[in-house]
Amino acid sequence: MAKEKVTIQDIADALGISRNTASKALNGSESIPAETRNKVIRKAIELKYKQFAFMDSDSFLSKSSGNIALLTENLPNTSHFGSTLISGLEKRISAEGYNLSIHIVRDIEQKSLSLPNNFDASNVDGIICIELFDLEYSKLITGLGIPTIFIDCSAYVCYPEFQADVLLMENDHSTYQLTRKLIDGGYKSFGFIGDYNHCRSFNERWAGFNRALTEAGIVLDLSQCIVDDDRLFFSEPEWMGARLAAIRELPSVFVCANDYIAVSVMKALRNRNLSIPQDIVICGFDNSPESVIVEPHLTTVHIFSNEMGVKAAEMLLSRIKDPNQPYQVSHIYTKPVIRESTPNIR
């Protein structure tokens, strides 16, 4: 007995969805999510429904997929908040039928203001930039006219002139709150470690730190801070120790721009036979895996990295759909995490 013709109801039943949803998906309705539409079309091809009977599933996927390029100076490792962020981001864009390609921007390309060799602007629907903090290079990317979002950005960006969306973790208020807790805990002298012009996030953390001191009437002594050019922090293993040794009188607290810097400071202080937190207390930012490996465990600020990735994807997808909407600057809340490196605070 010959099999009856495949119907829309057959496709709907196979996928466990309503006939109305399947019908709308096959007719290209924009009210249906891309992921659902792709599943319906794949099932229609599989069941050889009408005009889809002559389509190949692989060719459909290649035609339906868009391309989003991630540009970064350094591919984030597992210790970096960007690693989890990329995971959340990729899941979100793939659900909408987009592929993610990763392009490393080398120093020579930043200096010459040239794009990576494997980057084809004509085949890119959207761009995501992580760890790209050079202002002129950022302008090169925004000048391409492709929907773009920066996850963190140059400290020198002037938002009204910047032709891209920006997503950051919340930096100012969380650093302010952490510094206030330390002040309320009885600590009197403070130093900041990190190049506050390295990126917008570091700049906002510096601002929150200073705001807390100003409100408490504490005058910051810059001789107790290490705010050198960011490149020097990675120049040689003994650099941090030498800079700390040059400080005539150490403060009671070091607020560090991130956990990597904080851990480096802790190691350098130990090499001088100083105890943490007995002689000096330390806090960082990022809640990296190292923050609970180092002893004592490091007070820090937690970043909701996966959620940032999802939000970045949604902002970029919205920009792709409507390129003329006003640009956005968004912050995702963060959360101070109090540990053993800062006693006397709650």
- Residue 285 and residue 300 in contact, taking contact as beta carbons nearer than 8 Å: yes
CATH architecture type of domain 66-169+305-333 = 3-Layer(aba) Sandwich (3.40)
What is the C-alpha radius of gyration for the chain, rounded to an integer number of angstroms? 25
Q: Compute the Cα dihedral for 196, 181, 241, 130 and give only its sign.
A: negative
Top pLDDT among 38 and 142 is at 142
Predicted local distance difference test score (pLDDT) of residue 58: 54
| 10 strand-pairing partners | none
- Residue 85 and residue 70 in contact, taking contact as beta carbons nearer than 8 Å: no
Tell me: the pLDDT tens digits for 53-94? 655 555 454 445 689 999 998 765 555 566 788 888 988 998
| Report field, pTM of the whole predicted structure over 0.95 | no
Taking alpha carbons only, the member of 164, 233, 240, 236 closest to residue 202 is 233
Residue in the structure block whose two tokens are 């650099």? 239
Predicted local distance difference test score (pLDDT) of residue 179: 97
> What is the CB neighbour count within 10 angstroms for residue 28?
9
Q: Cα–chain-centroid distance for residue 6?
A: 46
Taking alpha carbons only, the member of 305, 225, 304 closest to residue 261 is 225
Predicted local distance difference test score (pLDDT) of residue 63: 46
Percent of the chain with pLDDT over 70: 90
Are domains 66-169+305-333 and 171-303+336-345 of this chain identical in fold?
yes
CATH number given to 8-59: 1.10.260
Residue 32 has pLDDT above 80, yes or no: no
Which of 32-36, 38-42, 77-81 is predicted least confidently? 77-81
Tell me: the pLDDT tens digits for 233-269? 777 778 999 999 999 999 999 999 999 999 999 999 9
Residue in the structure block whose two tokens are 């930039």? 129
Tell me: the pLDDT tens digits for 100-151? 888 999 999 999 999 998 899 999 999 999 989 999 999 999 999 999 999 9
Q: How far apart are CA 148 and CA 236, in angstroms?
A: 35
Please report which confidence band the pLDDT of residue 26 belongs to, taking 50, 70 and 90 as the band edges. Answer: confident
Q: Which CATH class is domain 171-303+336-345?
A: alpha beta
Whether the upstream peptide bond of residue 277 has omega within 30° of 0, thus cis, is yes
Tell me: the pLDDT tens digits for 149-162? 999 999 999 999 99
- Residue 147 and residue 322 in contact, taking contact as beta carbons nearer than 8 Å: no
Predicted local distance difference test score (pLDDT) of residue 231: 81
Tell me: the pLDDT tens digits for 177-220? 999 999 999 999 999 999 999 999 999 999 999 999 999 999 99
Q: Where are the domains of the chain?
A: 8-59, 66-169+305-333, 171-303+336-345
Where do runs of H (alpha helix) occur along the chain?
Answer: 8-15, 19-26, 34-47, 57-64, 81-95, 107-112, 135-142, 172-184, 200-215, 239-245, 259-271, 305-321
β-strand pairing of 253-256 with 98-104: unpaired
